[in-house]
Amino acid sequence: MIITLTKALLIVFWAVWVLGLLSLLPEPWIQPVLWIGVALLVIHLGEYLFLHAKVAMRQGGNSGFLGFMIFGFAYWLPLLRK
């Protein structure tokens, strides 16, 4: 349930982040949302670089780059627990 909630919150966050990129958010919120999004992208890229081989072994060669970049640990943790 925590993983599902995390995925839902990340989808909402990325939608808000896109609104920030388009400057559709109120002014005091644009900069923090954009910087948090950049930080999340860097963290998720790091997760991909360190864990994509393990996930690819479990997925039959597919490491799921978009899954890593959008969901981070909510994507790879259930795959590695199986």
Look at residue 30 in the predicted model and tell me its pLDDT.
Answer: 94
* Model confidence pLDDT, tens digit, residues 27-74: 999 999 999 999 999 999 999 999 988 888 888 877 788 989 999 889
- Tell me the domain boundaries of the chain: 2-81
- Identify each DSSP E strand in 1-82 by its residue range: none
Tell me the Ramachandran region of residue 62: left when phi exceeds 0, alpha when psi lies from -120 to 50, beta otherwise: beta
From the number of C-beta atoms within 10 Å of its C-beta (0-12, 13-18, 19+), residue 31 rates as: exposed
Look at residue 59 in the predicted model and tell me its pLDDT.
Answer: 80
**Residue 8 pLDDT grade (very low, low, confident, very high; cuts 50, 70, 90):** very high
| Whether the predicted pLDDT of 82 surpasses 80 | no
**Residue 79 pLDDT grade (very low, low, confident, very high; cuts 50, 70, 90):** confident
C-beta separation of 1 from 78 below 8 A: no
